[in-house]
């Protein structure tokens, strides 16, 4: 199994075109730091991952839109100062359509052609009731349509292997996915998950509903016992018991981290072997685990 990274840096190309080229996509996600030390860590991670020639990198927007200006600034800087193709995160949270137009315009001026259109978590956090913003949007599909109407953007959306936590059923969840595609979405990225069969079941549901865009699996390795609790809080889903058992079987923090990387590498192997078009790593602004997983995949792919 070849990893199939692009043979050259993609520059400012549209992600949808890169995916259509048939090469496996490997991408990394970062978040806006809170302080100067976090800023240094972010750019250290970016520089350490840049030699892997990812298809693209993305920058998240904080809960309730709290980091919006920093998200825009970091995305602009990646476009201007690195060889990487950045994807900007857009959310509906706390913004009017006029404000969204302004942000999208800034991205266009910076040469950023790729956006991930999200409803976003309510200001009260995941699982709390949605709060409408006067003059704003309430659905990711509306944000997709807005972005597509404002320029030559490649627009992706979030998708959910076990269904969105607010979805009434898996059928309702896939209907929302179809609405996003109908609005102009061109690819999807999943939230984190731990079983390859959950990803492939999502793909099957999507194809059965007429959703034919590429779906990239989102990967977040467990690097500490505490992170298991945090992952459950973010996704609204319990970490599978077999994963918890493997982590619980070791006590030393370094061993926990090693096992977490092994679990993620095995998952990535299964996903690529089953035909996933690539992998999207949630890096938490650290490069080491992602580089270790990548190295493990490359070692597995090497000829005997």
Top-confidence residue, 234 or 251 = 251
User: Hey, how many other C-beta atoms are within 10 angstroms of the C-beta on 248?
Assistant: 13
1 pLDDT higher than 50: no
Taking only the tens place, the pLDDT of each residue in 95-127 is 999 999 999 999 999 889 999 999 998 888 777
Q: What is the mean pLDDT of the chain?
A: 89
pLDDT of amino acid 11: 42
Percent of the chain with pLDDT over 70: 92
**Helices 225-235 and 241-248, interaxial angle, to 10°?**
160
Top-confidence residue, 6 or 12 = 12
pTM over 0.85: yes
Confidence label for 128 from pLDDT (cuts 50, 70 and 90)? confident
Number of domains in the chain: 1
pLDDT of amino acid 124: 80
Question: Six-digit token pair at 242?
Answer: 């077999």
| Strand extents, DSSP E, 133-276 | 154-159, 187-192, 215-219
CA of 40: how far to CAs of 45, 81, 286, in Å?
9, 15, 11
Confidence label for 10 from pLDDT (cuts 50, 70 and 90)? very low
The answer to whether residue 7 is domain-embedded is no
The answer to whether residue 159 is domain-embedded is yes
Top-confidence residue, 186 or 12 = 186
pLDDT of amino acid 181: 98
pLDDT of amino acid 9: 37
**What is the domain range of residue 284?**
15-291
Residue from 29, 61, 142, 191 carrying the catalytic annotation: 29
236 pLDDT higher than 90: no
Q: d(Cα 51, Cα 45) in Å, to the nearest integer?
A: 11
pLDDT of amino acid 6: 39
Percent of the chain with pLDDT over 90: 71
Of residues 295, 233, 301, 229, the one with CA closest to residue 264: 295
pLDDT of amino acid 127: 77
Average of per-residue pLDDT across 168-177: 96
Q: d(Cα 50, Cα 66) in Å, to the nearest integer?
A: 27
pLDDT of amino acid 122: 85
Of residues 168, 288, 180, 158, the one with CA closest to residue 234: 158
61 is catalytic: no
Task: Kindly report the CATH number assigned to the domain that includes residue 34.
Answer: 3.20.20.220
The answer to whether residue 10 is domain-embedded is no
């Amino acid at each position: 199994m070849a990893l199939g990274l692009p043979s050259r840096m993609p520059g400012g190309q549209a992600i949808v075109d890169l995916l259509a080229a048939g090469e496996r996509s490997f991408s990394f996600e970062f978040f806006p730091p809170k302080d100067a030390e976090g800023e240094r860590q972010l750019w250290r991670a970016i520089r350490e991952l840049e030699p892997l020639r990812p298809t693209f990198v993305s920058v998240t927007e904080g809960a309730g839109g709290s980091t919006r200006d920093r998200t825009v600034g970091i995305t602009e800087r990646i476009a201007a100062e690195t060889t990487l193709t950045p994807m900007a995160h857009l959310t509906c949270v706390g913004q009017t359509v006029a404000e969204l137009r302004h942000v999208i315009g800034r991205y266009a001026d910076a040469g950023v052609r790729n956006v991930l259109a999200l409803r976003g978590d309510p200001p009260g956090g995941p699982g709390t009731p949605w709060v409408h913003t006067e003059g704003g949007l309430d659905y990711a599909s509306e944000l997709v349509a807005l972005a597509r109407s404002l320029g030559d953007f490649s627009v992706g959306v979030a998708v959910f292997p076990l269904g969105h936590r607010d979805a009434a059923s898996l059928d309702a969840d896939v209907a929302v996915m179809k609405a996003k595609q109908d609005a102009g979405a061109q690819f999807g990225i999943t939230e984190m998950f731990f079983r390859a069969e959950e990803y492939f079941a999502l793909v099957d549901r999507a194809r059965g509903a007429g959703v034919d865009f590429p779906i990239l699996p989102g990967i977040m390795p467990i690097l500490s016992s505490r992170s298991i609790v945090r992952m459950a809080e973010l996704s609204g889903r319990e970490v599978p018991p077999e994963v918890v058992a493997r982590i619980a079987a070791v006590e030393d923090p370094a061993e926990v981290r090693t096992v977490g990387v092994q679990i993620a590498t095995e998952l990535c192997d299964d996903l690529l072997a089953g035909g996933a078009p690539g992998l999207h790593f949630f890096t938490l602004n650290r490069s080491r685990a992602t580089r270790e997983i990548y190295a493990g995949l490359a070692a597995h792919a090497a000829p005997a």
